[in-house]
């Protein structure tokens, strides 16, 4: 079975609203308007898998208030790499209706921004 990743369906920059360090792991909170979708609030948990903490795994939860006023929640898992203030991420998102998406992005800890692209996945 081939997995197809489509064209970019969404692209934006959210505000990084918090970073909390918890031992070896850390958690970020982001929020912003996802053009064409609605307002998003999300939390990423980063767990390093390398001794220098330069890469690891991500789990996340996102809540969306759609442009129609509905509430949608989504879950994410993926990987990250980090160099100084820049965190590059690649995640697979699962929405409640079964829709799957690939999200690639960059978190800039100094600028306090999360820039991302979203592509839907099809079989």
Question: How far apart are the C-alpha atoms of 62 and 74, rounded to whole Å?
Answer: 5
Q: What pLDDT score does 68 carry?
A: 94
**Which pair of structure tokens corresponds to residue 48?**
């390093």
Domain boundaries of the chain, sorted by first residue: 4-122
In whole numbers, what is the pLDDT of the chain averaged over residues?
92
Question: How far apart are the C-alpha atoms of 50 and 81, rounded to whole Å?
Answer: 10
Structure pTM?
A: 0.89
Cα dist from 25 to 32, 42, 88, 94, whole Å: 24, 17, 16, 23
pLDDT tens digit sequence for 25-68: 999 999 999 888 899 999 999 999 999 999 999 999 999 999 99
How many CB atoms sit inside 10 A of residue 13's CB?
A: 16
How far does the chain reach from its first CA to its final CA, in angstroms? 7
pLDDT tens digit sequence for 104-114: 999 999 999 99
Under 8 Å between Cβ of 120 and 100: yes
């Amino acid at each position: 079975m081939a997995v197809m990743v489509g064209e970019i369906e969404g692209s934006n920059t959210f505000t990084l609203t918090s970073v909390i360090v918890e031992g070896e792991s850390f958690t970020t909170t982001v929020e912003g308007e996802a053009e064409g979708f609605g307002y998003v609030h999300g939390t990423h948990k980063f767990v390093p898998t390398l001794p220098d903490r330069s890469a690891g795994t991500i789990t996340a939860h996102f809540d969306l208030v759609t442009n129609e006023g509905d509430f949608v929640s989504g879950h994410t898992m993926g990987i990250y790499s980090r160099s100084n203030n820049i965190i590059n991420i690649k995640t697979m998102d699962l929405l409640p209706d079964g829709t799957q998406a690939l999200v690639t992005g960059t978190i800039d800890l100094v600028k306090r921004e999360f820039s991302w692209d979203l592509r839907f996945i099809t079989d």
